[in-house]
Chain A
């Protein structure tokens, strides 16, 4: 079983739709959870950063972490064509000097106008 599983998609939605992106993981030691957005031929850009379980909201984006199920989600409300990108989940078991990120393979999202 891979440490982090992420459905690669592709996912295609109409503008204005609610998008749900998900990752599952097997390492129960993971405590720090991130979502990155990566436009074509660009570097990953941090969207959301959460510690432990719970929800975090930032504008149209909501990140959820369910450690009991080893499942994290990113919701995008009122999706826009500018949200079209690859979304990568990432997680780590430590915030200190041993910090190393484990990434999902990314989900390619297209929002159609």
Chain B
């Protein structure tokens, strides 16, 4: 099993551009999460989903959007990228028990 797969691994974006961070999991988990990780700040929850068609805001949702049309996929959309969105983004999934994380997308907004 691949687990949780994120693409791309790295991206440089210009201010005002948009992009979608892809996340897919092959464990048939209902729950999926997007986090951002900034140096010295730990992981902050951006959005989460408890199943296909259901999403909700986390701690730091501003500037982001998500959709969940299938169990497997949970893309994160950045509209009008800003330097404050420079971070490492992690997608995670779970069914019961602990969450399993992808390898991350390192995003720089310049």
Residues of chain A touching chain B, judged by Cβ–Cβ distance below 8 Å, are 8, 32, 34, 36, 41-46, 49, 88, 90, 95, 97, 99-101, 103-106
Cβ of A42 and Cβ of B104 under 8 Å apart?
yes
Cβ of A44 and Cβ of B96 under 8 Å apart?
no
Interface of B is mostly: strand
Interface of A is mostly: loop
Residues from chain A with Cβ under 8 Å of B20 in the complex: none
Bound CA–CA A103/B40 (angstroms): 12
Residues from chain A with Cβ under 8 Å of B94 in the complex: 99
Cβ of B42 and Cβ of A43 under 8 Å apart?
no
Known: A95-B96, A106-B42. 16 other contacts (CB 8 A): A32-B98, A34-B98, A41-B104, A43-B103, A43-B104, A44-B101, A49-B97, A49-B98, A95-B97, A100-B45, A100-B48, A100-B58, A101-B43, A101-B99, A104-B42, A105-B40
Give the distance to chain B from A49, nearest Cβ to Cβ, in Å.
4
